[in-house]
A and B are shown apart, each in its own frame.
Chain A
Amino acid sequence: MSRALWILAVLLSHWRRHPLQFATLLIGLISATALWSGVQALNAQARSSYDRAAATLGGARTATLVSPNGDHFPQQLFVDLRRAGWPVSPVVEGQVRIGGRTLRLTGIEPLSLPVEASAAPAIGTANLQGFILPPGQTLLSPDTLAALNLAEGATPQISSGGRLPPLKPQAEIAPGVLVVDIGFAQQLLGLQDQVSRLLIGSKAAASRPPLREVVGDQLKQVEPDTETDLERLTDSFHLNLTAFGLLSFLVGLFIVNSAIGLAFEQRRPMLRTLRACGASARLLNSVMVIELTLIALVAGLIGLVCGYFIAATLLPDVAASLRGLYGAQIPGELSLKPQWWLAGIAISILGALAAASASLIKAARMPVLAAAQAFAWQQAQQRWLLIQGSVALLVFTAAAGFLLLGDSLLSGFAVLAAILLGAALGLPAVLGLALALGERGATRPLMKWFWADNRLQLSGLSLALMALLLALGVNVGVGTMVESFSRTFVRWLDGRLTAEVYLNAASDAQAGEIKAWLQHRPEVTALLPGARAEVKLDNWPAEIIGFADDPTYRDNWPLLEQSRDVWDSVARGDGALISEQLSRRMKLTLGDRISVPTGNGPWPLTVAAIYADYGNPRGQIGVAYAALIARFPEVAQTRFGLRVDPAKVPALVDDLRTTFKLDNRSLADQATLKTESKRIFNRTFAVTAALNAFTLGIAGVALLTSLLTLGNSRLPQVAPLWAIGITRRKLAFIELMKTLSMAALTALLALPLGLLVAWCLIAVVNVKAFGWRLPFEVFPWELLKLLGVALLASLIAAALPILKLVRMQPARLVKVFADER
């Protein structure tokens, strides 16, 4: 044991002498762990809140009984089912408004609530008596409490006039949800003796009679979804994050790999000595693994802390885009489970061991008295390039295969991954070719040496250059996609937001008052009522929007495809516009029939046009307002768009606001709405962009460590040149040129790769993930900027090794001849 400790001490002494190297190793591990676990933390946070939402709503996770038309139904059915042995629990639900904020009020019955339906343990451990008996309790998430600007115990009034039971924050409740006992909920929602649905407990009962025998056809059973709607909708978003996390992790491991490779080369004599002193290869290896594990442990912990901060920093953006895009409420405060910490440490250790495996195997196989053969691997370079090049070709073929055969988001990402991997693997071969060409073109001896030495250096640098290529490629790709998106979105927004003022009254009654009031405002040239209903098509949430037949739409609404009499058929009530998402998901084209479920049977519609509906995860159907109201009489008729003389908008908005006490959520002018939408959608990719920047930074560090590694082992190459009279300064300049030329070549290669990635994102991944396709645009100026950034990054990375060379003691250069040759 003590021998092992001594060996460990000796091994660790290496790091004391090479603090910079130690730092790069740590940086690699830390950044790999930090980004990976940061992204995991974000995903976990979001997923847990979807789960909570799903559980509090009592819906998706549990089989339910609902009325076939989706309406509330008499509570007596619940009693009848219980008396027949069905383990059901009633839930009543509705929307309430508190100070202009719409919240979901859920009434549950805690005694019969199936254990598995209440992922909110708070309801179980809360004081049951206090929850059930007046004055009762309103459980809500601390976030919602804060957003309402109310204190615990407050009894806010809701729009319908009643007062909520005293508020009580419970961390387990999903944001935006108020949970009360069913008795209070029925009163507050005006649904006396009515329930919205029944949850079916999974607890096995001895026997239960068929549903039909108990309740006839008044209720139907809905099986639990394996995924919640939110999960389904946000899958793509999280897959995006995960993909970036993985990329950053891999790039981080590149650094670890090169740092460990360097340490290994430098420790060869030390290992040899230790072996000669009697340490067995087995012991030595075990201690090296232990050493690495210890380092990985420390780095992993630091990485986790950094990951935590990354996640905490990005969370507001993630939360904002999830809310903006999907309506998913994510709490703003990061809460992490112990598994997250354990997984983070594990991934750090596993990553470190994987990155070090090559070096460890080499050390294990090293003969006791082997001479230093630092560059033996370079001899095999030619063959290696060939193999790697062929693998790259294979991977590209696979990418094409995925592209042709795949039809899912996952296959989209597989295409992307294969393209990136293929490009990375092919890079050394392509660079080698370019350098060989350069060498052939060179005439002066120093130039010839320049190219030849560059080629020699290639395999040592190739990992770092691959990292750079990947980071740049992804950067170009994502940058192009984001830019395409934002331009398309702005154009599209202009077409869709045509009314000057949008308002949403608090109730149908207020809507009537507002309509009457607007009659006396001559500046209002048109009043465009709107309504929306939610349905499920093929079990996918979709919304139906009703809009008035008005030139505002006829003239401005940008359509992707349309039949000839689109507007007339919609106005007649038998035609519908459908969103691109819906058409892709349900494979609908112009002229196809769709059947929309309504309370009074299916509603057949013909697809008259397809329109882009960027950023909406739900499918959408646009129909005539009157037709929608006829089929869904219960929908709120409180939304209007107003056509107003633009100059008179501010005055009108002010008057409306003061007369009807409308807040910002209920009343907005076009400009505000546009700004708000753009802000939300800019944030959609904010996280992607941030991770992108991180990745590029890590690639820079990878390049630096690779150059440091090479810098030391390259002395034998440089020393002869110095010996024949080339100054250190000139040598340094040549070295710098070499690095920059390699980086420039890589960056140039990254441009087509990036455009390919962008195309893949726009034409494959986005379509699968979001259901819409953007026009592909190239932005040369952005590409140039990125090229500059890449060169700058390599310049900075190269600076340190170059400075070292300039300042190198001539004695060290001389020593090369004494030691190595």
Chain B
Amino acid sequence: MSASNPISRRAFAGGLLALGLGGPRALAQGFAGLGSDAGHFAPVVPGRVLTFPADHGPHPDFRIEWWYLTANLKDADGKAYGVQWTLFRQAMTPGPQRDGWANQQIWMAHAALTSAETHRYAEKFSRGGIGQAGVTAAPFRAVIDDWAMQGTDTMNVSTLSPLDVTASGADFGYRLRLTAERPLVLQGDAGYSRKSERGQASYYYSQPYFAAHGALTIDGRPIEVSGTAWMDREFSSQPLASDQTGWDWFSLHLSSGEKVMLFRLRQSDGKAYFAGNWIGLDGRSEQLAPDAIALDPIGFTETAGRKLPTRWRVRVPGHGLSIDTTPLNPNSWMGTSFPYWEGPISFGGSQTCNGYLEMTGY
């Protein structure tokens, strides 16, 4: 993948690309349309009020959307693990939903389990319309094949809790129960998250307060774990500007109890668009101005034939945050149909604790 590919943070359409949505030419034209005109899909406009449980479910009028979970876990001995569970939806064409195989939705899922020594992952694809994959808002249930993220009978729609999450690959598996007491957090400006100066945007909300416990399976061996988890929900029709080449995204659980989401969208002219939200102890989500954020690579790793900035200096001076992040496993490379780096990080500096880092477009 050349560095000049405009891609989404979540790399979804990349999977389709590898499956044959087009060659390098299509890439140059803007990655299955993510960086191009949204056509007849529903537009993302400021002011839309996100409502639950409806918005937990799919939005087929929008081109793309995802249910994205990352968890920082520890076993009884204090050994750290990271878990990722992601379901993507993409509509191939706009318009009313067709039944059966004619349905225009494509589903893709990634699951990963990271430790300091290994990074294991798996991916799945499915067509919409036949019941192999899909999401329902109430009761909340997101599935593809035998992977699932679903609310229990007692799920509270405003906290999206409790949830059961399960996935497995050839050499790993996990089963987690997620619980949260605090309500969902709207990212950006009340859920409207801008991605460029020119108005590309998505609807974006998160549940960063999950406590997670459950069991991992590595090489057939069960490991009891517990920790924190962060779920992102995002949907859009044109999340990227055509000159944006990649994304560096952070979710941080601070030792103070505050939560921070930051991202940097790199542009082909070498500049970048910064955005983020500071979620205070009271749960209030404050949108950060682009110039209030500084993200600087301080250490690089050669992995999968690419040079990736796996150590970062993250600063939000307005909140007195200045930390240096270290990956749990610098080789957290997702060699999926569309490859990217995603893995747990820890950090030290003005605050300590952990989070997740994702880097695409390298």
The residues of A with any CB-CB pair to B shorter than 8 Å are 75-76, 78-79, 82-85, 109-112, 124-129, 132-134, 181-183, 186, 193, 203-207
Contact = CB atoms under 8 A, between A and B. Distances in A.
B101 A186 contact: yes
B170 A205 contact: yes
A132 B170 contact: no
Given A112-B125, A128-B19, 6 more contacts: A83-B145, A124-B19, A124-B20, A128-B20, A203-B170, A206-B168
A83 B132 contact: yes
B16 A128 contact: yes
Contact of A83 (B19, B101, B143, B168): B143
A82 B127 CA distance: 12
Given A79-B132, A127-B22, A133 B93 contact: yes
A82 B126 contact: yes
Nearest to B103: A183
A85 B100 CA distance: 21
29 contacts: A75-B130, A79-B132, A83-B132, A84-B146, A85-B145, A85-B146, A109-B101, A109-B127, A110-B19, A111-B19, A112-B125, A112-B132, A124-B19, A125-B20, A126-B20, A127-B20, A128-B21, A129-B92, A132-B92, A133-B93, A133-B104, A134-B102, A183-B101, A183-B102, A203-B170, A204-B170, A206-B171, A206-B173, A207-B173
B101 A181 contact: yes
B172 interface: yes
Contacts of A111: 19, 106, 125-127
Contacts of A183: 100-102
A76 B132 CA distance: 9
Contacts of A205: 168, 170
Contacts of A78: 130, 132
B92 A133 contact: yes
A-B CB proximity, top 8 nearest: A183-B101, A85-B146, A206-B168, A204-B170, A111-B125, A128-B20, A82-B145, A79-B131
Nearest to A181: B101
A374 to B, nearest CB: 65
Given A111-B106, A129-B21, A132-B127, A206 B145 contact: no
B217 interface: yes
Interface string B166-206: 00111111000000000000000000000000000000000
B264 to A, nearest CB: 31
Nearest to A107: B101
A723 B149 CA distance: 108
Contacts of A79: 130-132
Residue from B102, B125, B145, B170 with most neighbouring chain A CB atoms (10 Å): B145
A722 to B, nearest CB: 79
A451 B173 CA distance: 88
Contact of A193 (B100, B126, B168, B170): B100
B169 to A, nearest CB: 6
Contacts of B169: 206
Residue from A85, A132, A186, A204 with most neighbouring chain B CB atoms (10 Å): A132
Nearest to B130: A79
Nearest to B98: A134
Contacts of B146: 82-85
Contacts of B170: 203-206
A183 B168 CA distance: 29
B interface secondary structure, majority: mixed
Nearest to A204: B170
Tier of interface size on chain B: 20 to 34
Contacts of B102: 134, 183
Residue from B131, B146, B171 with most neighbouring chain A CB atoms (10 Å): B146
B125 A206 contact: no
Interface in B93-120: 93, 100-102, 104, 106
Given A79-B132, A111-B127, A206 B100 contact: no
A183 B101 CA distance: 5
A120 B212 CA distance: 45
A76 B100 CA distance: 11
A509 to B, nearest CB: 29
Contacts of B21: 127-129
A79 B127 CA distance: 11
Contacts of B104: 133
Contacts of A112: 125-126, 132
Residue from B16, B100, B143, B173 with most neighbouring chain A CB atoms (10 Å): B100
Contacts of A82: 126, 132, 145-146
A85 B16 contact: no
Contacts of A203: 170
A49 B171 CA distance: 36
Interface string B141-169: 00101100000000000000000000011
B14 to A, nearest CB: 13
Contacts of B93: 133
Interface in B5-22: 16, 19-22
Contacts of A84: 146
A85 B22 CA distance: 29
Contacts of B92: 129, 132-133
A29 B246 CA distance: 60
B324 to A, nearest CB: 36
A76 B126 CA distance: 14
A205 B172 CA distance: 9
A206 B217 contact: yes
Contacts of A133: 92-93, 104
A82 B169 CA distance: 14
A186 B217 CA distance: 40
B134 to A, nearest CB: 11
A112 B341 CA distance: 25
Nearest to A124: B20
B168 A207 contact: yes
A267 B146 CA distance: 78
A13 B126 CA distance: 71
A111 B90 CA distance: 14
A128 B32 CA distance: 12
B223 to A, nearest CB: 15
Contacts of B145: 82-83, 85
Nearest to B145: A82
A83 B19 CA distance: 22
A387 to B, nearest CB: 62
Nearest to A206: B168
Contact of B168 (A85, A126, A127): A85
A206 B145 CA distance: 13
B215 to A, nearest CB: 13
Contacts of B101: 109, 132, 181-183, 186
A449 B172 CA distance: 89
Nearest to B18: A124
A395 B175 CA distance: 69
Nearest to A109: B127
Contact of A206 (B22, B131, B132, B172): B172
A83 B109 CA distance: 14
Contacts of B173: 206-207
Contacts of A126: 20
Contacts of B106: 111
B171 to A, nearest CB: 8
Nearest to B148: A83
A181 B168 CA distance: 28
Contacts of B126: 82, 111-112
A180 to B, nearest CB: 11
Contacts of B171: 206
A109 B132 CA distance: 12
Residue from A127, A129, A133, A205 with most neighbouring chain B CB atoms (10 Å): A129
A76 B131 CA distance: 8
A182 B126 CA distance: 13
Nearest to B101: A183
Interface in B22-42: 22
A672 to B, nearest CB: 44
B294 to A, nearest CB: 40
A532 B268 CA distance: 66
A78 B93 CA distance: 25
